[in-house]
Amino acid sequence: MARKAIATESAKSFAQSIEQTASERYLLRLYISGMTPAATRAIANLKKICEEHLAGRYDLEIVDVYQQPVLAKDEQILAAPTLIKKLPLPLRRLIGDMSNKDRVLLGLDLRPKEAR
């Protein structure tokens, strides 16, 4: 009987964590180096993913490392484009043009719609 209670509690905590994730606000910062083709692709790909999976629950800040080098230095940006997921924790970094949707979703702690 105790085993059944533990399984029920586990299921409840899992459901609560899914519910919490669905209501959390995402704070994302994308570092680019000018309006290069890779930067343009990264912006478009990321906006598409965010609108599809985080509509109304995200803030995306785009930082050009040439215009704001201090921010890039503070975040220790070594390559661009680099996406930093600041919130919800844990902090995550993704490098590239964000074209691998599954990788981006995994980095944002989201699952593809088919897997839900």
Give me the pLDDT at residue 111, please: 73
Q: What residue segments make up the domains of the chain, in order of their start?
A: 25-115
Single-letter amino acid code for the residue at 100:
N
**Domain covering 25-115 in this structure, CATH number:** 3.40.30.10
Output the CA torsion 86→62→44→92 (10° steps).
Answer: -20
β-strand partners of 84: 29, 93
Beta pairing class for 82-87 and 26-32 = antiparallel
Single-letter amino acid code for the residue at 49:
I
How far is Cα 71 from Cα 61, in angstroms, rounded to an integer? 12
CA torsion sign, 69 to 73 to 99 to 47?
negative
Would the pLDDT of 50 be above 50?
yes
pLDDT in tens, 78-113: 999 999 999 999 999 999 999 999 999 999 998 754
